[in-house]
């Protein structure tokens, strides 16, 4: 293939492999897509490697070619058995730039055609399939000839382009696992099963902590409302964590222990009688002392006497 020879001029002997992989959303067609994952890549067309050297070879080949890389339908650009009945090979888009993201893969900046955008939004195509040029001596990816929209992926364990969450980049599974392992501060030797178990335990711990915090907030609210004493806090917390609806039902029907906003229990009968006696004596004192009338009113004198009692 003459175009392949131009791309790979000066390289060691390469072989052309049609691959299959993913990345396109249902609601919004991305303009940045992972076209090959990082590391050892399994493919029906033959396994290969993408590392720092490989990424640089691909980028150099793309830049030296001097033109945008075509994205076609079902590899029609290759011709031969891939040719369309009409012999035409319309573009679905153009790769404007290729970048390397260590640990993620080779990322292409894509300019889609309008027909391709509509087809992708309608989920008529789900995968991208690069035509890879593999260096035979060490099975490293050396260049990308073209990329096709297809529904026949060949690279193992790649995510579908369609049905991804909106505005997120498609990443290989191993990249997500590595990130999760790092977040959990686990050793590199830990396998997938250990990571999943540890993640589950972490999520459960976070959920318990959130539940306890919510329970403590509800308890403080009940205390301020005068429905709950300090001695009842542990009982209330256990009830909330077991079934919050039971606590809410109890709270609705529970009597107030203290007046709302009060810091002391309500006065008993003796206190009320005592206050009445103080008020009576204060009025008698005021009326028997003409000097007091020149200083304050009777009601103010009595109120001051009652406040002195309450503060005692």
Condensed to tens digits (0 to 9), the pLDDT of residues 160-182 reads 554 443 444 445 667 777 788 88
In a domain, 12, yes or no: yes
pLDDT reported for residue 22: 43
pLDDT exceeds 80 at position 4: no
pLDDT exceeds 60 at position 270: no
Burial group, residue 213, by CB count within 10 angstroms (0-12, 13-18, 19+): exposed
Query: Do 223 and 273 have their domain in common?
Result: no
Query: Do 10 and 156 have their domain in common?
Result: yes
Query: Do 230 and 157 have their domain in common?
Result: no
CATH code, domain with 133: 3.20.16
In a domain, 41, yes or no: yes
Residue range of the domain that includes 141: 2-171
Query: Do 222 and 98 have their domain in common?
Result: no
Q: Please state the φ and ψ torsions of residue 151, each to the nearest 5 degrees.
A: -115, 20
CB 175 within 8 A of CB 104: yes
Instruction: In whole angstroms, give the CA distance from residue 293 to residue 284.
Output: 12
In a domain, 22, yes or no: yes
Instruction: In whole angstroms, give the CA distance from residue 105 to residue 55.
Output: 8
Tell me the average pLDDT across 180-204.
Answer: 84
> What is the tally of structural domains in the chain?
3
Tell me the average pLDDT across 51-69.
Answer: 91
pLDDT exceeds 60 at position 300: yes
| Paired tokens of 166 | 């909106």
Pairing of strands 69-73, 140-150: parallel
In a domain, 27, yes or no: yes
pLDDT reported for residue 159: 53
pLDDT level of residue 23 (50, 70, 90 thresholds): very low
Indicate the average pLDDT of the chain. 76
For the entire predicted model, the pTM comes to 0.45
CB 180 within 8 A of CB 43: no
In a domain, 179, yes or no: no
pLDDT exceeds 90 at position 95: yes
In a domain, 241, yes or no: yes
pLDDT reported for residue 162: 47
Pairing of strands 140-150, 127-135: antiparallel
pLDDT digits (tens, 9 = 90+) for 234-245: 888 898 888 888
CA proximity to 50, closest of 127, 104, 128, 129? 104
pLDDT exceeds 90 at position 53: yes
Query: Do 205 and 231 have their domain in common?
Result: yes
pLDDT digits (tens, 9 = 90+) for 101-158: 877 788 889 999 999 888 888 888 878 888 888 888 889 999 988 888 887 655 555 5
pLDDT level of residue 99 (50, 70, 90 thresholds): very high
Query: Do 278 and 145 have their domain in common?
Result: no
Cβ count within 10 A of residue 9: 10
pLDDT level of residue 41 (50, 70, 90 thresholds): confident
Query: Do 92 and 144 have their domain in common?
Result: yes
Tell me the average pLDDT across 188-194.
Answer: 82
Helices (H), the chain: 2-7, 52-65, 114-121, 173-183, 192-224, 233-242, 244-253, 269-288, 290-295, 298-311
pLDDT level of residue 273 (50, 70, 90 thresholds): low
Which region among 37-41, 60-64, 206-210, 275-279 has the lowest average model confidence (pLDDT)? Answer: 275-279
Higher pLDDT pick, 68 / 291:
68
In a domain, 176, yes or no: no
Tell me the average pLDDT across 267-281.
Answer: 64
Find the length of the chain: 312
Query: Do 102 and 226 have their domain in common?
Result: no
Instruction: In whole angstroms, give the CA distance from residue 206 to residue 306.
Output: 53
Query: Do 275 and 302 have their domain in common?
Result: yes
Query: Do 241 and 285 have their domain in common?
Result: no
Instruction: In whole angstroms, give the CA distance from residue 191 to residue 187.
Output: 9
DSSP characters over 255-290: PPSS-TT-SSPPP-HHHHHHHHHHHHHHHHHHHH-H
pLDDT level of residue 31 (50, 70, 90 thresholds): confident
Query: Do 141 and 21 have their domain in common?
Result: yes
* DSSP-derived secondary structure letter, 91: -
pLDDT reported for residue 51: 92
Domain boundary among 104, 138, 171: 171
Instruction: In whole angstroms, give the CA distance from residue 290 to residue 169.
Output: 91
Domain boundary among 253, 277, 297: 253
Query: Do 209 and 307 have their domain in common?
Result: no
Instruction: In whole angstroms, give the CA distance from residue 58 to residue 7.
Output: 10
pLDDT level of residue 272 (50, 70, 90 thresholds): low
Instruction: In whole angstroms, give the CA distance from residue 130 to residue 153.
Output: 10
In a domain, 177, yes or no: no
Tell me what percent of the residues of the chain surpass a pLDDT of 70: 72
pLDDT reported for residue 311: 60
């Amino acid at each position: 293939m003459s175009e392949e020879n131009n791309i790979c001029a000066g390289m060691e002997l390469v072989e052309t492999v049609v691959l299959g992989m993913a990345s396109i959303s249902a609601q919004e067609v991305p303009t940045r897509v992972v076209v090959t994952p990082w590391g050892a890549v399994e493919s029906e067309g033959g396994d290969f490697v993408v590392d720092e050297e490989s990424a640089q070879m691909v980028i150099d080949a793309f830049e030296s070619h001097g033109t945008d890389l075509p994205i076609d339908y079902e590899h029609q650009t290759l011709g031969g058995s891939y040719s369309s009945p009409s012999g035409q090979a319309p573009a679905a888009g153009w790769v404007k730039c290729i970048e390397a993201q260590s640990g993620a893969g080779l990322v292409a900046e894509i300019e889609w055609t309008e027909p391709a955008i509509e087809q992708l939004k309608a989920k008529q195509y789900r995968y991208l399939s690069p035509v890879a040029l593999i260096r035979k001596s060490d099975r490293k990816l050396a260049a990308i000839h073209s990329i096709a929209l297809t529904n026949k992926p060949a690279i193992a364990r790649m995510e579908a382009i369609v049905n991804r969450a909106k505005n997120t980049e498609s990443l290989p599974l191993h990249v997500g696992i590595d990130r999760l392992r790092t977040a959990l501060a686990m050793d590199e030797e830990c396998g997938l099963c250990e990571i999943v178990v540890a993640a589950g335990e972490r999520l459960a711990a976070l959920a318990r902590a959130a539940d306890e915090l919510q329970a403590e907030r509800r308890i403080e609210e009940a205390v301020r409302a005068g429905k709950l004493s300090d001695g009842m806090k542990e009982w209330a917390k256990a009830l909330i964590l077991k079934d919050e609806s039971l606590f809410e039902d109890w709270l609705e029907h529970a009597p107030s222990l203290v007046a709302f906003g009060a810091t002391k229990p309500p006065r008993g009968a003796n206190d009320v009688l005592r206050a009445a006696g103080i008020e009576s004596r204060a009025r008698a004192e005021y009326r028997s002392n003409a000097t007091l009338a020149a200083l304050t009113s009777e009601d103010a004198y009595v109120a001051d006497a009652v406040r002195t009692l309450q503060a005692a």
